[in-house]
Chains A and B, each alone.
Chain A
Amino acid sequence: MIDSQELFFMSLSSSDSSLDAFQTMAQRLSQLQRVSDVDAFTDLIVKREAQGLTMIAPQILMPHAVGSVVLKNTVLVGLFPTLQHWNRGLSVRLIVMLATPNAAAAQNDPQLMTLLTKLADEQVTEKLVAQKTVSQVQLLLQ
């Protein structure tokens, strides 16, 4: 069971680019008081994506950022109503966004490890992208 204080869910509306989606999610993290600076955080996420795509399974992107703008370990899961097709041939249905103040905080977090172990299972990731609603996704990951 993942602590709900750390794991949040939201539904995303269709967007033209990954940047739009990242900004929307960064704003949500800011509302949740997990991120102090929306733009700086989005910048970290985009820079990481530029180094190599973070597709962890078909249709699932795991953008992540490490930095002092993050106030607390947080995972925000966003589900699009349909499959989004972006630049670089990216097709995304689900975004699992990871935010952490420093690497050590993430590596020693048992709840985060539990979530990652679930995401390492192809049967789980296949099920995730087949879901229609956020609450169904939530049920699978909690």
Chain B
Amino acid sequence: MQLNDQQQALIDILMRQNDYITAHKLSEVTNTSTKTIYRNVRSINDSSESGDVIEAVRGRGYRLNYDRYIYERNTSVDNTLDYSPIERRNRILLELLFNAPFDLNVDRLYEHYYVSETVIENDISLMNKLALSFGLVLKHRYRRLSITGPEPNIRQAIRNTINKGDLMDKESIDDFIDDFHELSSFDERFLIAQLEYLERSLKLTIPYPYNINIFSHLYILMSRFREGKVVDDPEQNRLTADQKALTERNPKFAEVAREIIGKIGRYLNTTLPAIEDFYLLQYMVSMRYDRELPSTNHEDRLVDQLVVFYVDGFDFNGRAVDRTALVADLRNHIKPMVNRLKNGISVANHLLKEIGSEYPDELAQVKQLSSEAQTKFALPAAISADESGFITLYFAKYLEQAKPAKRILIMCASGVGTSQLIRVKVQKAFPDLDVVAVVSKDGYLKHAADYGHVDLIITTVNVTPADNTSVVMVSAMFTKADRDQVANWIERRDS
């Protein structure tokens, strides 16, 4: 099942909805015509092999068949025919970059994509522009393509191309390996052993996504030396004063980096230039660790200023968040981020889309602050949308925590028996809800005021509260359908 952005957006809405939603309403939410909705629904259902992913009921609208959607998503075949033009160009560009400066035959590059000569011409001209933006040159001669340019630029281009597109939509190293079939199981085991060695010798764990970042860096490094030809340029191999200073400030890291590069060199049966030690070191100082790392005062000042800038600039909408904890948490993230900006390292945030749809206002605020911060603090690079997405998660976390617990009453005819049982089940399923009391219907109607403000009544019997308090009727079993009803109410209340 291959979905375009519009179709994916449709699925995302239906996924959050849980109940039927009309085409009219969908067209309002997505800002498209109902015709577009009909067409997208049909096209999504047509591409499913196990039946309709979006079910329609006359008079009620559409609903997502979640099980089927998950099934389809997990079984869709990875077929080169399914690549979008952008993905196709990215994949070809990657192949050229890995092989740089060697040339490759155009027909071989395109043999699996079944596209016309015009499309290929168009691809080449677009890839040429991409290459130029990285300071590289794409050469096209006698139906052969090659890329030339300085090694750091080639690596940067590879990293960016992998991060872009869906190539880096990875949640784990396993996902990364799945997508790079060129990686043999020997390489895979060898690289994972290097990561483990790194963690062991520095006595720390590398959290997501930095583990993938280092893994892909090492993978790119190996591929470059194996498939392409890294030009031995003494000029590039010399460390600048800044680079030397960074190495000297982190002697333990530098030592481990040197050891790992040495091992990779032996694995490839070659000697890797000393600058590779530094490239790896850059990654190592740009990760978030689970414990504080020593750093210089100058860096700390910038980090503190940035954290204060974000927290002061963010509009919490009157909610009382735990600022001290937020500042401490954010500091641990911003510190390696500053290192990433300095070292030109980008991280992919595969949650960015979800963050955008869950916390649109918060993300917009953070993006705005990020762009202001770049000018205000003269940062060496722009804070990318991916980075802003990570920062948004910290704000979202503390905003969620600051929400007052919802007060719930549980009711049945007598306040004994089934309602007591439901209390146990509600507390298990929704630990964040504050179950104020278990009441009988009569008891509640006579003494409603005794329970103070109540957000929701979960009841097994019919009741109409005088003050319009929300009511969710459930069965005494408190089944999954009942749980979903309560969850829906919470979601509606939260939004």
Contacts and interface: CB of A to CB of B under 8 A. Distances in A.
Interface string A20-54: 00000000000000000000000000001001111
Interface in A61-116: 62, 64-66, 98, 100, 103, 106-107, 112-113, 116
A97 to B, nearest CB: 9
A56 interface: yes
A55 interface: yes
A56 B420 contact: no
Contact of B424 (A98, A103, A106, A116): A116
Contacts of B477: 55-58
A104 to B, nearest CB: 9
A65 B418 CA distance: 11
A83 B461 CA distance: 26
Nearest to A102: B416
> Chain A binding site: helix, strand, loop or mixed by DSSP?
mixed
Contacts of B476: 52-56, 62
Contact of B460 (A52, A65, A98, A119): A52
Interface residues of B, number: 21
Interface in B422-450: 424-425, 428, 438, 440, 443
B119 interface: no
Interface in B403-433: 412-418, 420-421, 424-425, 428
Interface string B438-471: 1010010000000000000000111000000000
A86 B193 CA distance: 64
> Which of A53, A103, A113 has the largest count of B CB atoms less than 10 A from its CB?
A103
Contact of B428 (A56, A106, A119, A120): A120
A108 to B, nearest CB: 11
A127 B416 CA distance: 24
A63 to B, nearest CB: 8
Contacts of A103: 414-416, 440, 443
A100 B418 CA distance: 13
A5 interface: no
Interface residues of A toward B: which range? 20 to 34
Interface in A106-142: 106-107, 112-113, 116-117, 119-120
B384 interface: no
A52 B461 contact: yes
Contacts of B428: 120
Contacts of B417: 54, 62, 64, 98, 106
A117 B424 CA distance: 6
A89 to B, nearest CB: 13
Contacts of A120: 421, 424-425, 428
Contacts of B412: 52
Contact of B416 (A56, A64, A119): A64
A106 B412 CA distance: 14
A62 B413 contact: no
Contacts of A119: 421
B271 interface: no
B475 interface: yes
A53 B461 CA distance: 9
Q: Pick from A57, A64, A112, A119 the residue with the most CB of B within 10 Å.
A: A64
A26 to B, nearest CB: 16
Nearest to A98: B417
Contacts of A106: 416-417, 420
Contacts of B460: 52, 54
A56 B420 CA distance: 11
B409 to A, nearest CB: 13
B412 to A, nearest CB: 8
A125 B440 CA distance: 25
B461 A64 contact: no
B189 to A, nearest CB: 40
A52 B413 contact: yes
B415 A107 contact: yes
B416 to A, nearest CB: 4
A98 B476 CA distance: 14
Interface in B245-280: none
A65 B414 CA distance: 8
A103 B420 CA distance: 11
Nearest to A49: B413
Contacts of B462: 51-52
A109 to B, nearest CB: 10
A56 B421 contact: yes
B416 A107 contact: yes
Nearest to A100: B416
Nearest to B421: A116
A112 B417 CA distance: 9
Contact of A98 (B416, B438, B443, B461): B416
A55 B417 CA distance: 11
Nearest to B416: A106
Given A55-B476, A119-B421, 20 more contacts: A48-B414, A51-B413, A52-B461, A53-B475, A54-B460, A54-B476, A56-B477, A58-B477, A65-B414, A66-B414, A66-B440, A100-B416, A103-B414, A103-B440, A106-B416, A106-B417, A107-B438, A112-B420, A120-B424, A120-B428
The list of the 5 closest CB pairs from A to B, nearest first, reads A64-B417, A120-B424, A106-B416, A66-B414, A103-B415
Interface of B: 412-418, 420-421, 424-425, 428, 438, 440, 443, 460-462, 475-477
21 contacts: A48-B413, A51-B413, A52-B460, A52-B476, A54-B476, A55-B477, A56-B418, A56-B421, A56-B477, A62-B417, A62-B421, A64-B417, A66-B414, A66-B416, A66-B440, A100-B416, A103-B415, A103-B416, A103-B443, A116-B420, A120-B421
